[in-house]
Amino acid sequence: MDALDLAHFREQPLEMGDMTTLEDIARVHAGWIIWRSDAGRWWATRRGAVDLEAIRRGCAMTLDADDPDGLAAALTAQEEVTAEIVADLAPVVADSTTAG
């Protein structure tokens, strides 16, 4: 996480084990900014925008969970939704590049 990302979110001091978990989640889900709130909840916000159609199909801009395992599960579910949307769009993109 760079300084700009940290400037947007105030992080609660983490235990040594939590820092490893936070870093592990961030490494696996590089398209997200991961943090832990003062209240102890775990959060993730996408890097980049999500269009309205993706939101309608289940993509979230921000997720939260009670614990790191819950957040990791939510992030994995989001990756599956995103993969489905990309797969659905692939034929449309292929058709538009071959038309002419």
Digit-coded pLDDT (tens) for 9-40: 444 444 545 557 899 999 999 999 999 999 99
Name the percent of the chain lying above pLDDT 70: 71
Rounded to an integer, what distance in angstroms lies between the CA atom of residue 29 and that of residue 75?
A: 7
pTM over 0.75: no
Decide if 77 contacts 57 (C-beta within 8 A): no
- Greatest Cα-to-Cα distance within the chain, rounded to the nearest angstrom: 58
pLDDT tops 50 at residue 6: no
